[in-house]
Amino acid sequence: MLDLLHLGKTALSIELAKQINGEIISCDSMQIYKDMDIGTAKVTEEEKQGIKHYLVDFISPSERYTVSNFKKDCETAIEEILAKGKTPIVVGGTGLYVNSLIYGIEYQDMAFDEEYRNELMNKAETEDGLKSLYEEANNIDKEAMQIISPKDKKRIIRVLEIYHATGKTKTELEILSRAKGVKYDFRVFAISMDRDKLYDRINKRVDIMIEKGLVEEVKNLLAKYSKFPTAMQGLGYKEVVEYLEEKISYEEMIEKIKQESRHYAKRQLTWFRKNKEIIWLDAGNDMQNNIDIILKG
């Protein structure tokens, strides 16, 4: 199994699939949603070059989709690809999704308390509130919090939700599930990029999303769906909602998306650099050189 993480992955993964008779499984927690194309930078049919992609554009934004759902769906896709005599290539950078696969972690179908989640999310909107949630999570599960930034709302809330739902910490659940072993033989690769170039690329990508109609996409989503358990908390979407609600200006919206995207990329790199098993590729390398490194890995 192969996993490619971070910006620059699309072209590389498709070229790799062509060379090794592979098919691609998305490991992105936002690209699963229908009608959310621009803000999630979904691969286009033209970009796919005939390579089949799984777990993209198949869940309504009004539905909740868990890590447990992903693991089951991903393993189903892996089996389907293997049955064809092809190689599954898992592509994306959603940390919990990746860990559920490469470490065999079973995140149970926990009955999450919607009221509790909303309470946490509302509290996390202020700097003091987020700091308080981080301290609470750290008191509950110090080991898990070692790799979670004090500004990472999503992962802080996840730690608290798991404990609230199960009475066990995230770390305890991971230890229990890892004891069962890993189902597949994964090889994990990530793409590194000079930070200035990475941030410049992020800024340009946000500009392209705005030009393609991100604001209109969000308007259409708000008109079509009555609820958004998770979808509208996605990067880029929540900022546009703030703009549409006249909480921030158009210019502030764009700058906030860029800033939050840069922060997310930084947290993502920190998260994956903790994994000593990852083989890092250089975005500055020729594509074929990186493919050769993958094939030797």
Q: What is the pLDDT of residue 7?
A: 47
Q: Is the pLDDT of residue 2 over 50?
A: no
Overall average pLDDT of the 168-192 stretch: 85
Q: What is the pLDDT of residue 220?
A: 96
Q: Write b or e for each residue in 273-289: b if 16 or more Cβ atoms lie within 10 A of its Cβ, otherwise e.
A: eebeebeebebeeeeee
Q: What is the pLDDT of residue 273?
A: 81
Rg (CA), the chain: 19
Query: How does residue 260 score in pLDDT terms, banded at 50, 70 and 90?
Result: very high
Please report, for the chain, the start and end positions of each structural domain, with discontinuous segments joined by +.
2-104+182-296, 114-178
What mean pLDDT is reported for the chain?
89
DSSP assignment string, 62-120 = TS---HHHHHHHHHHHHHHHHHTT-EEEEE---HHHHHHHHS----------HHHHHHH
- Higher-confidence residue: 107 or 286? 286
Lowest-pLDDT range of 3-7, 58-62, 142-146, 160-164: 3-7
Q: What is the pLDDT of residue 87?
A: 96
Q: What is the pLDDT of residue 1?
A: 42
Q: What is the pLDDT of residue 5?
A: 43
Q: What is the pLDDT of residue 57?
A: 95
Query: Other C-beta atoms within 10 Å of 146: how many?
Result: 10
Tens digit of pLDDT for each residue in 36-60? 999 999 999 999 999 999 999 999 9
Question: 114-178 is classed in which CATH architecture?
Answer: Orthogonal Bundle (1.10)
Question: 2-104+182-296 is classed in which CATH architecture?
Answer: 3-Layer(aba) Sandwich (3.40)
Lowest-pLDDT range of 108-117, 190-199, 253-262: 108-117
Q: What is the pLDDT of residue 8?
A: 67
Query: Other C-beta atoms within 10 Å of 189: how many?
Result: 21
Bridge partners (DSSP) listed for residue 282: 192
Q: What is the pLDDT of residue 183?
A: 85
Q: What is the pLDDT of residue 9?
A: 85
Tens digit of pLDDT for each residue in 195-242? 899 999 999 999 999 999 999 999 999 999 988 878 888 899 999 999
Q: Which tokens go with 274?
A: 């903790």
- Give Cα 198 to chain centroid, integer Å: 17
pTM over 0.85: no
